[in-house]
A and B are shown apart, each in its own frame.
Chain A
Amino acid sequence: GAVVSQHPSWVICKSGTSVKIECRSLDFQATTMFWYRQFPKQSLMLMATSNEGSKATYEQGVEKDKFLINHASLTLSTLTVTSAHPEDSSFYICSASRTGVDYNSPLHFGNGTRLTVT
């Protein structure tokens, strides 16, 4: 159990266009989802915390108007990279936490999305 599906697994887009990445919890409800960006030297940076039915909480230095997050249901959060530029090329990973659990419980991760902006 506790499967998180992330789609697409890879995407190539042109500079200036927008790209939407979906994160779904398939067999559990997730009030909270987290979006990470992974840099080439594997470091994992938390971008934002997505809460169902409310605005996302962004980490310092992350542009909320560029990285739009929507968490419209208990099983789906989306990250939209707007007006993408080559420097946005990266590996984006979502994770979800079961509704009702506390911080002793682990996160469940999607398989990531490789975004390449040309």
Chain B
Amino acid sequence: GNSVTQMEGPVTLSEEAFLTINCTYTATGYPSLFWYVQYPGEGLQLLLKATKADDKGSNKGFEATYRKETTSFHLEKGSVQVSDSAVYFCALSDRRGGTYKYIFGTGTRLKVLA
């Protein structure tokens, strides 16, 4: 079945460091890929998405490219800030018959130190 695997955290970085959070997926069809962010005590918010191969999603300085050949959707940011501290979830959605289903990775906690 479909699945999403992301690197375990926590990831601890100093402010202005470069961030990469790895995400790989398995899917039988042509899924859409998403990154969501969860701040403490809150629900998830969409960070960015990509709907087909080679698409690049970007938002708030974060980027991720849909790589079909490596089945990956790694999240990157060139210079993190303390306010980026949160849990990041990689997810895919795929059509199953007449419905669709979202599958989430286990989340990666990011801590950015001033």
Contact = CB atoms under 8 A, between A and B. Distances in A.
A103 B107 contact: no
Interface in A66-118: 93, 95, 102-104, 106-112, 114
Interface string B16-60: 000000000000000110101010011111100101000000000
B43 A111 contact: yes
Given A44-B104, A111-B42, A104 B51 contact: yes
Given A93-B44, A109-B45, A112-B42, A104 B89 contact: no
B106 A109 contact: no
Given A103-B100, A104-B51, A44 B43 contact: no
A42 B106 contact: yes
A19 interface: no
B15 interface: no
Nearest to B103: A46
A93 B107 CA distance: 15
B contact face: mostly helix, strand, loop, or mixed: strand
A111 B42 CA distance: 5
B106 A106 contact: no
Contacts of B107: 42-44
A46 B102 contact: yes
A34 interface: yes
A6 B49 CA distance: 24
Contacts of A114: 41
A-B residue pairs, 5 tightest by C-beta = A103-B100, A109-B43, A42-B107, A103-B93, A106-B46
